[in-house]
Amino acid sequence: DVKVTQSSRYLVKRTGEKVFLECVQDMDHENMFWYRQDPGLGLRLIYFSYDVKMKEKGDIPEGYSVSREKKERFSLILESASTNQTSMYLCASIRWAATDTQYFGPGTRLTVL
């Protein structure tokens, strides 16, 4: 089975801190995604990556950056966390051009105080 893991299930940070969220997949997938999930808004795409060192902005990239130095790992970075970034963050991956669907990690619930 495909496994997508995220570094933390729960995280509490203070305003202005730099935050790293890590995601690792074990199935050699090319495409990886970061979403945030908020009640009533569903999942919104922050960034995605087609390959190592490749990144593309999603619908809501402001305040975030990403890093993909290795194929299996995709990191989301909050350069200076703010309270409006309190949310559930979900990572997903899929093979390029697959007819299958995305596989999701368990999520990281981030609270910024």
Partner 1 sequence: GDSVTQMEGPVTLSEEAFLTINCTYTATGYPSLFWYVQYPGEGLQLLLKATKADDKGSNKGFEATYRKETTSFHLEKGSVQVSDSAVYFCALRGFNNAGNMLTFGGGTRLMVKP
> What are the residues binding partner 1 (CB under 8 A)?
4, 31, 33, 37, 39-45, 48, 50, 56, 90, 92, 94, 96-99, 101-102, 104-107
Tell me whether residue 17 or residue 51 sits nearer to partner 1 (CB atom): 51
User: Residue 9 has which token pair?
Assistant: 């299930």
Strands 65-70, 87-94: pairing kind: unpaired
Tell me whether residue 6 or residue 75 sits nearer to partner 1 (CB atom): 6
Distance in Å, CB of 8 to partner 1, minimum: 13
Distance in Å, CB of 12 to partner 1, minimum: 17
Q: Return all residues near 10 (Cβ < 8 A) that are at least 6 apart.
A: 108, 109, 111
Tell me whether residue 16 or residue 94 sits nearer to partner 1 (CB atom): 94
- Which residues sit opposite 10 in a β-bridge? 109
For residue 51, CA distances in Å to 28, 36, 86 come to: 10, 21, 28
Tell me whether residue 92 or residue 110 sits nearer to partner 1 (CB atom): 92
Distance in Å, CB of 43 to partner 1, minimum: 4
Distance in Å, CB of 76 to partner 1, minimum: 15
- Indicate the SS3 state at residue 83: helix
Helices and strands, number each (H, E), in the chain: 0, 11
